[in-house]
Amino acid sequence: MALAPAVSPLARFTIDGRSIVITGATGALGSAAARALNALGARLTLVGGNADKLDALAAELDGPGPVETVRRRPDTPDDAEAIISAAVKTYGDVHGLLVASGTNHVAPITEMKVEDFDAVQSANIRGSWLMCQAVGRHMLGRDGGGSVVLVSSTRGRLGHPAGYSAYCPSKAAVDLLGRSLAAEWGGAGVRVNVLAPTVFRSELTAWMYEEDEKATATREAMLARIPLGRLAEPEDFAGALIYLLSDASSFVTGQVLYLDGGYTAC
């Protein structure tokens, strides 16, 4: 009897043809994700509040997968529903969601305004919850399941002395949102996982990569806690994201994956 042709294990990592929504697409992590997934043939819906930046990112992408843009932020239930509806209208389905939108406001708790605290919670946890609600209504109503990836931080596990009393709790909530929905949706084949990076290069952190005295001191203090001995680049997260959005992680759900060079191991 002839043996069936061997299938490469790499075939399980394919995302070619999959419809994937990215919120916060013009940010450092979102744009790196868009470049990687586009190169692998995913059908992307890029979501953000700045039309010019969205158009520039879409024009930059030259991979085989098509690209749609939606100028919205997931601020309300209507926004979240419209984002998912746009992807379904364009591609007929949504197989994956990356929620890469969020914000931070740094201040001592004794000086932080309540509205600034609320803004962080709204962007980080409420926005994630709204996008999960909208995509869940779609994915739970179809055969084939799906994959949702939320973005947290090492600060969802660790405190910070420099005024992170809004940010850290919001990211801890994202971690538990991912675990809760993994339990709630597992029977339908919808997986939910969380990526939790430490400092990576972005508009907000670019100063830490410079060579002036303040940046050097801050960077060296961070590197003392990172066994791999460097700060991260947005591209460092592409491999983990591809894994979580593909069938290679078909038995992985409810996990918080720390992309931190070993920071949380110390």
The residue written with tokens 């931070």 in the block is 104
92: left (phi over 0), alpha (psi -120 to 50) or beta: left
d(CA 137, CA 216): 47
Q: Phi and psi for 71 in degrees, rounded to 5?
A: -85, 85
Strands of the sheet with 67-71, listed across from one edge? 67-71, 43-48, 19-23, 96-99, 146-151, 190-197, 256-259
167: annotated active-site residue: yes
DSSP 123-188: IIIIHHHHHHHHHHHHHTTSTT-EEEEEE--GGGTS--TTT-TTHHHHHHHHHHHHHHHHHHHGGG
Query: Which one of the listed residues 167, 243, 258, 263 is annotated catalytic?
Result: 167
Write out the catalytic residue numbers.
Answer: 167
